[in-house]
Amino acid sequence: MVRSWGKTLVAGAVTLLLAGCGCTGPQGQPTGGETKDVTQEVVEEEVTEPAESIEVERLGGADRYETMEQVVRAGFTKSAWAVVVTGENFPDALAASSLAGAKDCPVVLCPTKELTGDVEALLKELGVTSVYVVGGESSVAPEVADALAAAEIDVTRVFGDNRYATSVEAAKATVEVDDTSDTLIICTGDGFADSLSISPYSWKSASPILLAQKGMLTDDEVAFAQEHGQFSRILIVGGDAAVAEDVKDQLGDGYEYERLEGQDRYETSAAVAEWVCDNGFTWSTPGLATGENFPDALAGSALMGQNACPLLLVSDGSDVAQKTIAAHRDEVTRLVVLGGEASVSAELVDSIALG
């Protein structure tokens, strides 16, 4: 058991009364029965009290695919649908969370050119009969789609000419299934961190994510937003360098704009966590995933969305997660670590759990 230490201050005074006790002074002379008050102050000191660390559950395997399997099984025992994305690169996969949320299903990672036996077994175990494959053939090769079809799984491919077009197609597919969300999310398409931090909310609310190209939206992305009148809030994740203020000019009036940002991906992730917990999520079982790679957090988007709890990106070189969890320690009952110790070290987890 890992323990931390608190402070208890002890202070006071000890008074010794030396009264006519038959004692003798120098040269054997009696003390004369006099009384002396000798007071000794006790210096304040710290007394330690143990406090238990937050409970930790780690979902991690030998590689990204084994971790994904553990994460999926933690959230789903049965699912007729799954969203399949490549586990080798992030761009097309970033827009998958809202579509998975609309179908209340997991995000399943597979290698680009192969449907492995383990992934196929996972799909069969869940009872999957239909999948969305998000991404073009360079992301998820035709061999994978053919293998899925051979396993008697219906395949619908959602893709565009590039990551930005794919995000539009994933957004269209999402609202065709579930058009109840009033929130459209915009993140940079040049990196994965901001999209992953907001992905549990995207999953839970079926809020589409559009990817900004060099800080701006494409014409097709603007058209999608304007053609779907249910969106009243535009949630921008990341600073001006990631998504430019000019996006507001592209989309025009009629929206409530909110921006979630920090000095780096970890501060932005913390800002997202605070925001989602002000908008329906709780701090009961937050997730932790490395901010240095995408697969573990991507696979965890559905699980954390199911739990309605935030996903914090972490790193050995950042103490933002420690401070964030410490601020909400009384609300946290368990930490869910996504990935093995090579991704999120035991030392880092201990430091966060101890607060």
Query: Is the pLDDT assigned to residue 36 strictly greater than 50?
Result: no
Residue boundaries of the structural domains of the chain: 3-50, 54-354
Confidence of residue 46 (pLDDT cuts 50, 70, 90): low
pLDDT tens, residue by residue, 100-148: 999 999 999 999 999 999 999 999 999 999 999 999 999 999 999 999 9
Res 229: pLDDT: 93
Res 28: pLDDT: 45
Cα dihedral 320, 75, 279, 236 sign: positive
Query: Is the pLDDT assigned to residue 27 strictly greater than 90?
Result: no
Cβ distance 242 to 188 under 8 Å?
yes
Residue carrying the six token digits 């789609």: 145
Contacts of 150 (CB under 8 A, 6+ apart): none
- What does pTM read for this prediction? 0.86
Cβ distance 194 to 187 under 8 Å?
yes
Query: Is the pLDDT assigned to residue 25 strictly greater than 70?
Result: no
Query: Is the pLDDT assigned to residue 19 strictly greater than 70?
Result: no
Q: What is the mean pLDDT of the chain?
A: 89
Confidence of residue 15 (pLDDT cuts 50, 70, 90): very low
**Amino acid at residue number 17:** L
Cα separation, 309 vs 276, whole angstroms: 8
Q: Which tokens sit at 324?
A: 């964030």
Query: Is the pLDDT assigned to residue 18 strictly greater than 60?
Result: no
Cα separation, 16 vs 228, whole angstroms: 85
| Three-state secondary structure readout of the chain | CCEEECCEEEEEEEEEEECCCCCECHHHCECCCCCEEEEEEEEEEEECCEEECCEEEEECCCCHHHHHHHHHHHHCCCCCEEEEEECCCCCHHHHHHHHHHHCCCCEEEECCCCCCHHHHHHHHHHCCCEEEEECCCCCCCHHHHHHHHHCCCEEEEECCCCHHHHHHHHHHHHHHHCCCCCEEEEEECCCCHHHHHHHHHHHHHCCCEEEEECCECCHHHHHHHHHCCCCCEEEEECCCCCCCCHHHHHHCCCCEEEEECCCCHHHHHHHHHHHHHCCCCCCCCCEEEECCCCHHHHHHHHHHHHHCCCEEEECCCCCHHHHHHHHCHHHCCEEEEECCCCCCCHHHHHHHHHC
Question: CA dihedral defined by 108, 114, 117, 120, rounded to 10 degrees?
Answer: 40
Question: Residues in the chain, how many?
Answer: 355
**End-to-end distance of the chain based on CA atoms, in angstroms?**
15
Residue in 302, 191, 180 with CA at minimum distance from that of residue 237 = 191
Query: Is the pLDDT assigned to residue 10 strictly greater than 70?
Result: no
Confidence of residue 256 (pLDDT cuts 50, 70, 90): very high
